[in-house]
C-alpha cells in the first residue's frame, strides 16, 4: 500500500491526497510571496519518493534577479538524493547541491537552458523552470516520460496560466501567515481563489460560442436570442461603450483569452446581467472587488473546462513578521473553505527522518 500508516490530525496527509487523486501532473500555486509553495513541493515530493512512487519536480516561474539571487526563493525546495528535477543550468550552481544532468530540454529559463537532472545529495535545489506555459507543458511531458510517478510543478498565482486543464490535472493552493495580519483575514483572501475552482461548466451552446470566440480572437456579446450582437477585438474600441450598445438583452459575454478588470468593471457598470464564459479558471485575472460585484449584480461565470482543486496547504510561518499559531490558522482556513482538504505539511512530516531539516517556508 502507498498510504502511510499515520494520518494528519484531520485525516490523510497531503501526499495521500495526491496519490488518491490519480492526478499525474500537479501544480502547487503560491498565492503570495512567502506562501510556502516551494516547501510544500519539497515535502510532498520527498514523501512520494519514500513510498517508491518515482515523482519528479520543476517550477513554472521566472528566476531570481542576477544582482540578488536570494531575493527570489519561491521555487527553492529541499530534495532528497535520487529525485529527478527540471531546472536551468545556471540555477544548478546557485545553492551548491550536487546534481547530475540527465538531458537537455531545449527550453529556456532566466538562468539559461532548462535541463533535467538527478539530485545526487540531499539538499536545497533552485527550481528555475521556464515561464512560457507551452514550454512548461513540454518539460512536464518529458519528466512524465522519464519518471513513473506524479510530476509536481510549483509557481506563483500570477503565473497560473501553465496550470490550465490539459496540462495540469490537479491544483494545490499554498497560503501562509505572510498573506495578512490575522489568520481570519488570510483565510478570507483564500476563499476567493478557492471559489473560482467551483465554477460550473458551460452548456453546449456556450461551448460552441467559446470556440467561435477563439477562432475570431474576439470577445463575443451574445443576446438572449443566441445571436452575436457584437464582437470586441483586443485593443480596439471601448469595451464599456460596446457593452452598453448591446443592450439589456445581453445574455452571454464570451471571452476567449484572459478576463481582465477592465472588461469586468465595464460589465459591472453597464445595464446588463449575463453569464461570462471563459476557457478555465486560469483565465480569470480579476480582482475580488469586481468579481463579487458581478455576482452581487446577478451575473454568473462559467468555464469551458474545470480545474480540480485537490487541497490547500497552509503555512503558519511568516518570513517577514509574526507567525500564526498553527492549529488556529489551519482551523480558520478550514472554516473558510469547508469543502476543500486543508493541510500543514510541517504537522505532516514524513515518518522517517529527513536528511535536511530546514524550517523556512519559501
Condensed to tens digits (0 to 9), the pLDDT of residues 49-61 reads: 999 999 999 998 6
How far, CA to CA in Å, does 285 sit from each of 160, 259, 281?
10, 6, 9
Angle at 7 (CA atoms; ends 2, 9), nearest 5 degrees: 155
Pick the closest to residue 144 from 204, 192, 196, 84 (CA basis). 84
Check: CB of residue 286 under 8 Å from CB of residue 261. yes
C-alpha cell at 3: 498510504
CA distance 101 to 25: 22
pLDDT at residue 5 tops 80 = no
Per-residue pLDDT tens over the stretch 120-165: 999 889 999 998 999 999 999 999 999 999 999 999 998 899 999 9
Tell me the whole-structure pTM to 2 decimals: 0.88
Check: CB of residue 227 under 8 Å from CB of residue 252. no
| Alpha-carbon Rg for the chain in angstroms | 21
Average pLDDT, the chain: 86
pLDDT at residue 222 tops 80 = yes
Check: CB of residue 178 under 8 Å from CB of residue 321. yes
pLDDT at residue 352 tops 80 = no
Per-residue pLDDT tens over the stretch 232-273: 886 666 677 777 776 667 889 999 999 999 889 989 988 888
Per-residue pLDDT tens over the stretch 181-211: 999 999 999 999 999 999 999 999 999 999 9
CA distance 129 to 114: 6
Check: CB of residue 14 under 8 Å from CB of residue 311. yes
* Pick from 8-12, 177-181, 272-276, 291-295: least confident: 8-12
Instruction: Give the pLDDT score at 111.
Output: 84
Per-residue pLDDT tens over the stretch 312-332: 999 999 988 899 999 999 999
Reported CATH class of domain 14-197+307-343: alpha beta
Pick the closest to residue 177 from 356, 354, 346, 357 (CA basis). 346
Domain ranges in the chain are: 14-197+307-343, 204-303
Instruction: Give the pLDDT score at 310.
Output: 97
Amino acid at each position: 500500500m502507498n498510504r502511510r500508516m499515520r494520518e494528519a490530525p484531520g485525516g490523510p496527509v497531503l501526499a495521500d491526497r495526491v496519490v488518491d487523486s490519480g492526478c499525474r501532473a500537479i501544480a502547487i500555486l503560491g498565492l503570495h510571496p512567502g506562501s510556502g509553495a516551494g516547501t510544500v513541493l519539497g515535502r510532498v515530493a520527498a514523501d512520494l519518493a519514500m513510498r517508491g512512487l518515482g515523482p519528479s519536480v520543476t517550477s513554472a516561474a521566472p528566476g531570481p534577479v542576477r544582482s540578488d539571487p536570494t531575493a527570489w526563493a519561491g521555487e527553492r525546495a529541499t530534495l532528497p538524493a535520487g529525485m529527478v528535477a527540471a531546472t536551468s543550468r545556471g540555477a544548478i550552481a546557485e545553492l551548491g547541491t550536487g546534481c547530475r544532468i540527465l538531458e537537455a530540454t531545449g527550453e529556456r529559463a532566466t538562468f539559461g537552458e532548462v535541463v533535467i537532472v538527478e539530485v545526487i545529495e540531499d539538499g536545497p535545489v533552485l527550481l528555475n523552470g521556464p515561464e512560457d506555459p507551452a514550454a512548461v507543458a513540454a518539460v512536464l511531458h518529458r519528466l512524465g516520460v522519464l519518471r513513473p510517478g506524479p510530476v509536481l510543478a510549483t509557481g506563483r498565482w500570477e503565473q497560473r496560466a501553465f496550470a490550465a486543464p490539459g496540462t495540469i490535472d490537479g491544483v494545490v493552493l499554498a497560503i501562509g501567515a505572510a498573506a495578512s495580519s490575522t489568520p481570519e483575514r488570510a483565510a478570507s483572501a483564500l476563499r476567493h481563489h478557492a471559489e473560482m475552482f467551483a465554477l460550473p461548466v458551460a452548456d453546449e451552446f456556450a461551448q460552441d460560442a467559446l470556440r467561435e470566440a477563439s477562432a475570431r480572437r474576439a470577445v463575443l456579446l451574445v443576446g438572449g436570442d443566441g445571436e452575436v450582437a457584437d464582437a470586441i477585438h483586443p485593443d480596439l474600441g471601448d469595451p464599456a461603450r460596446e457593452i452598453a450598445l448591446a443592450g439589456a438583452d445581453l445574455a452571454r459575454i464570451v471571452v476567449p483569452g484572459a478576463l481582465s478588470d477592465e472588461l469586468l468593471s465595464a460589465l459591472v457598470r453597464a445595464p446588463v446581467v449575463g453569464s461570462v464564459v471563459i476557457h478555465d479558471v486560469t483565465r480569470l485575472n480579476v480582482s475580488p472587488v469586481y468579481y463579487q460585484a458581478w455576482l452581487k449584480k446577478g451575473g454568473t461565470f462559467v468555464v469551458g473546462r474545470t480545474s480540480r482543486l485537490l487541497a490547500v496547504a497552509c503555512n503558519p510561518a511568516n518570513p517577514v513578521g509574526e507567525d500564526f499559531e498553527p492549529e488556529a490558522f489551519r482551523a480558520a482556513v478550514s472554516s473558510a473553505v469547508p469543502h476543500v482538504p486543508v493541510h500543514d505539511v510541517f504537522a505532516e512530516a514524513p515518518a522517517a527522518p529527513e536528511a535536511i531539516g530546514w524550517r523556512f517556508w519559501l
